Structure 1
């Protein structure tokens, strides 16, 4: 692994554990046992590290989401598996990271927002349309509007100001929001699958 990638990986570990704002270039250098000067040979500033890191992680997410979608037997399984995947990743992230991105790294926040509104929303739209064809999702819903709702509520579920970590468990919040969404859009046939996958998640 080259030095640049080692810096990105170290930043990922520190940012996601402690938040972005609280981690300095000195912290990254110390974590890697290298000089700060070495870091500046590859990155102009911390903002560039954050942006590079987010680009990498979003590309990884695109590949992972594509695999989940391809392997899912139906829309209900896909939504539950996406929820579990996101919870496993974001559950390890310092809850302040989204606030830090939005306030201190607007260019990178715009990248994340674009991913959410373009890639993630389209994936939800495709899943809902597939569910309609399979008779699992009601055919009278506004697909675009509800895809937007779903992407917003996923992000909302990770907001510590709405769901304080000392009062709510991340997976329980995401499960409740997912269940609420699916019961709203699914047919009675779909509801049976929701009950099935909900039980599987709760038993894990």
Structure 2
């Protein structure tokens, strides 16, 4: 199947998974929703787990492209970091609140993909932005960029741990907003905070 056709199928799959959640539909229902036969579904994805993995990788590719465009239009590290936080907040608002729990428990390969995305792509990007911001006087000079990055990723994994934030009773996007934005505000110098005061005001 042509790459562009597969890409469109994955776009449809992502929209469906965002609408109803990863754990709801069975393989046959997914095949029908994508308008492919069960045989074609198995040929393309192998299984529902395979579809979930491909859809997640496709989604991460979209996010990276959006990050590149977003960051190219911003001048300073602190603006770029806040823009990434806003982007991630919108991503979390789009995802059903059960999805992280379902991925970890039922789709370990997909969960591993997400963790790899955080450690191999997000972490180096955060370190780079924090180091640049420290050098330019937008983040406090005494900060350790790698340690701060580790803490940010640890907070994210805490956020998606249903033992601490049960999805039945928690709006994860609201927790994200209250967890990350005040924390990053505390990393800023007065000069850095002034640069992004409008971004903080619209959180």
- Distance verdict in 2 for CA 1:70–1:57, change over 3 Å: same
Give the TM-score taking structure 1 as reference length. Answer: 0.83
Residue 177 (structure 1) aligns with: 179
Q: Which consecutive segments of 4 or more residues in structure 1 shift more than 6 A?
A: none
Task: Tell me by how many angstroms 1:168 deviates.
Answer: 4.2
Give the TM-score taking structure 2 as reference length. Answer: 0.84
Q: Is structure 2 residue 104 aligned with structure 1 residue 102?
A: yes
Q: Is the 8 A contact 2:78 2:139 kept in 1?
A: no
Task: Tell me by how many angstroms 1:63 deviates.
Answer: 2.1
Q: Quote the Cα distance in structure 1 between the aligned partners of 2:108 and 2:166.
A: 24
Q: Is structure 2 residue 82 aligned with structure 1 residue 80?
A: yes
Consecutive unaligned residues in structure 1, runs of 5 or more: none
Q: Quote the Cα distance in structure 2 between the aligned partners of 1:180 and 1:6.
A: 38
Q: Quote the Cα distance in structure 2 between the aligned partners of 1:196 and 1:7.
A: 38
Instruction: Give the count of matched residue pairs.
Output: 200
Q: RMSD across aligned C-alpha pairs, in angstroms?
A: 2.5
Residue 116 (structure 2) aligns with: 114
Consecutive unaligned residues in structure 2, runs of 5 or more: none
Residue 153 (structure 2) aligns with: 151
Q: Quote the Cα distance in structure 2 between the aligned partners of 1:185 and 1:42.
A: 46
Residue 18 (structure 2) aligns with: 16
Residue 165 (structure 2) aligns with: 162
Task: Tell me by how many angstroms 1:163 deviates.
Answer: 6.9
The secondary structure found in structure 1 opposite 2:115 is helix
Residue 135 (structure 1) aligns with: 137
